[in-house]
Amino acid sequence: MKITDIQVLPANLFLYVKVFTDEGITGVGESGAWGFLKASGDAVESFKTYLIGQDPLRIEHHWQYMYRCFHFRGSAVMGAISAIDIALWDIAGKYYGVPVYQLLGGKCRDKARTYYQVGGSTTEALINSCLEAKAKGFDAVGHLSPFLDEPRTLPYKGTYASMISDAADRVGMIREALGNEVDLCLELHRRMKPGEAIAFAQAVEKYYPMFLEDPTTPDNFDSMALIASRSNVPIATGERIHTPFEFEMLLARNAMSYVRADVCNCGGITGARKIAAIAEAHNAMLVPHNPLSPVSTAACLQVSAAIENFAILEMPDHDGIAATNRYTSEKDFNEATTFTQRDMVTWVPTLENGYALLPENPGIGVDLVPDVEKKFPFERRKILTRLHEDGSIVDQ
């Protein structure tokens, strides 16, 4: 079997890759370089010059070849490698007639625990979103920003005392509303300096959050390690880094308890498995970063099924717009839309009491509808970041 063609398919707010073979088997993957998808698509075009004519089943060899060919990486390149890698695993599963997790060693579990993405621009809206998740049967809520999901067009203003106390009090109100039957996965959006994050961790630990995600920017591993060493709340991070080596450096510093590897940006299923193995050696658990489309979810579920140290999976609303757009645009979080990701694909996960049932079809279990790129024209993401009232940049 040989690879005959590779297509880059930008659609809506996503970037897909389809790999074709001379035996009629095709595979689909998705890039997680969501801010720079066109650049990631161009990287796929470069890798295509190597892959045409190759055996698609030599997945590890192709991963190493693409990863090491130029020694220049970053999210656009790693997103391209990830999309291709997922598509190759999809082909392998279809070739052997089994879900990909069977090729990864078989299932470690029959279903995957998920957390529901919640949000709101007011305290009342955020609490109601959490209560809605509980009513739907979820026992964990995530993407839960104690600072609220305020639009990026709104200038930020606040004192240190109000930032810490208001956010901590909000977590307390959510805990009171939900009781202890629901885990709280707090998303801090990299907006705090180490000292601020340590103070916040101490203020909320009495509410027993499952973890604090990205309390500070990911650029300095030592800063994340400092926070982890001073926090009694477990730290989760990793969605903005791309290689197994970076994850190893964070884990070696005891900088996180929960690994937020993005299957569509850390090297695909191959890269995620490598990272999961490193994490297992450090007694850390995997919480796949999954803010993208059902293709990403399908790939994440293959990994989640096959590794022992899986904790919980981020589950976006596949009946709405992209989660990355909901939380980073100038529009209100609750703005209604007629768009649904369900219409772009042949499968979306079945959820039962907060668990996602595993795909059973060969490959990763999902395909794109015909002409998806025509039916759902690509939208380039607008460059928009939040400013302080004095005009300086705010990390959010």
Domain coordinates of the chain in residue numbers? 3-99, 103-362
Whole-angstrom distance, CA of residue 370 vs CA of residue 373:
8
The three-point CA angle 339-340-345 to 5° equals 130
Q: How many CB atoms lie within 10 A of CB 121?
A: 16
The per-residue pLDDT for 391 is: 94
What pLDDT score does 174 carry? 98
What is the arithmetic mean of pLDDT over 62-82?
Answer: 94
Reported confidence tier of residue 331, pLDDT bands at 50, 70, 90 = low
Residue 14's pLDDT band, with cuts at 50, 70 and 90, is: very high
CATH dotted code for 3-99 = 3.30.390.10
289 is catalytic: yes
User: Is 189 a known active-site residue?
Assistant: yes
Q: Out of 143, 189, 242, 318, which one is annotated catalytic?
A: 189
Count other C-beta atoms under 10 Å from residue 148's C-beta: 16
Distance from C-alpha of 376 to C-alpha of 366, rounded to nearest angstrom? 17
pLDDT of residue 320: 72
Report residue 62's pLDDT band, with 50, 70 and 90 as the boundaries: very high
Distances in whole angstroms, Cα of residue 48 to Cα of each of 20, 66, 243, 260: 11, 10, 21, 29
Q: What is the pLDDT of residues 210-221, one digit of tens each?
A: 999 999 998 999
**Model's pTM, two decimal places?**
0.96
- Of 62, 143, 242, 289, which residue is the catalytic one? 289
pLDDT for position 329: 55
Selected from 3.90.79.10, 2.60.120.260, 3.40.50.720, 3.20.20.120, the CATH number assigned to the domain covering 103-362 reads 3.20.20.120
